[in-house]
């Protein structure tokens, strides 16, 4: 993915043009959704459980394919993207989930370094990047050597965020990352996501309307029963 800074002529980073997703069960999870995510935008995708939020995130990752319409990421039509390019696309995205899915049999630093190793960096370079990522999300360097489950829920989500940004993505997708985090942890996480957006990263965060402190920069996009209103 092209992570060059935005210019006036550059297209939206993500563009949904009448995208529909119908699962094999026949369920229409997304109905003709049309919206764009620009570079450096922070968008909160808000709607009740079952509205279609995760479907949107999975479509952007290439984990699901649209049943209709056109979806482009960094100008690339995902339907035409060759299967071989999908792992590359996924490595260019940072993903943070409700459950951070960290490996407790290895230290925090190794967890954060994993995507950098998967992208082909040497162990030394990957660990260096991981330390820088930990610092960017405000984690104490002393946390590097402990297993993730020795940290609080909010800290574990910051580890997940450090892991998500270790490959310096142009886009962060966050699926209800504050669902199991206390209020203070949630507000720290939102501030961090906002800082990444200010620094030029596009952030799309799904929430089901829990009381998240609304960041000043955020644009709210509502979804209900598969219909997006921008």
In angstroms, give the least distance from the CB of 227 to ligand ADP: 12
53 makes contact with ligand ADP (CB under 6 A): yes
In angstroms, give the least distance from the CB of 171 to ligand ADP: 18
Q: What angle separates helix 153-165 from helix 123-136, to the nearest 10 degrees? A: 130
The rounded distance, in Å, linking the Cα atoms of 118 and 120 is 5
For the chain, the helix, strand and coil percentages under 3-state DSSP, each to the nearest 5: 35, 25, 40
Residue from 40, 55, 157, 188 binding ligand ADP (CB under 6 A): 55
51 makes contact with ligand ADP (CB under 6 A): yes
User: Torsion angle of alpha carbons 26, 69, 222, 226, nearest 10°?
Assistant: -10
Asked if 11 contacts 75 with a C-beta cutoff of 8 angstroms, the reply is yes
Quickly list H helices, 92-139.
108-118, 123-136
The smaller minimum CB distance to ligand ADP, of residues 51 and 113, is found at: 51
Within 11-30, the residues that bind ligand ADP by CB under 6 A are 23, 25, 27, 29
The rounded distance, in Å, linking the Cα atoms of 148 and 103 is 7
The smaller minimum CB distance to ligand ADP, of residues 85 and 222, is found at: 222
In angstroms, give the least distance from the CB of 98 to ligand ADP: 10
CB atoms within 10 A of CB 63: 13
174 makes contact with ligand ADP (CB under 6 A): no
The smaller minimum CB distance to ligand ADP, of residues 27 and 123, is found at: 27
Q: Which residues bind ligand ADP (CB under 6 A)?
A: 23, 25, 27, 29, 47, 49-55
């Amino acid at each position: 993915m092209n992570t060059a800074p935005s210019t006036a002529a550059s297209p939206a980073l993500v563009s949904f043009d009448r995208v529909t997703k119908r699962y094999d069960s026949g369920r229409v999870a997304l109905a003709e959704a049309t919206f764009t995510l620009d570079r450096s935008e922070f968008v909160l995708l808000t709607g009740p459980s079952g509205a279609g939020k995760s479907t949107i995130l999975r479509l952007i990752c290439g984990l699901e394919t649209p049943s209709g319409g056109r979806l482009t990421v960094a100008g690339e039509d995902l339907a035409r993207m060759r299967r071989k390019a999908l792992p590359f696309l996924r490595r260019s995205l940072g993903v943070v989930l409700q459950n951070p899915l960290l490996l407790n049999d290895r230290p925090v630093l190794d967890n954060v370094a994993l995507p950098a190793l998967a992208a082909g960096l040497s162990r030394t370079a990957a660990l260096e990047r991981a330390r820088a990522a930990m610092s960017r999300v405000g984690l104490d360097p002393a946390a590097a050597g402990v297993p993730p489950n020795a940290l609080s829920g909010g800290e574990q989500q910051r580890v997940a965020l450090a892991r998500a940004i270790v490959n310096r993505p142009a886009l962060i997708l966050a699926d209800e990352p504050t669902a199991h985090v206390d209020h203070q942890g949630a507000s720290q996480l939102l501030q961090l996501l906002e800082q990444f957006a200010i620094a030029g990263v596009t952030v799309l965060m799904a929430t089901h309307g829990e009381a998240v402190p609304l960041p000043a920069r955020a644009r709210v996009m509502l979804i209900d029963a598969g219909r997006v209103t921008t």
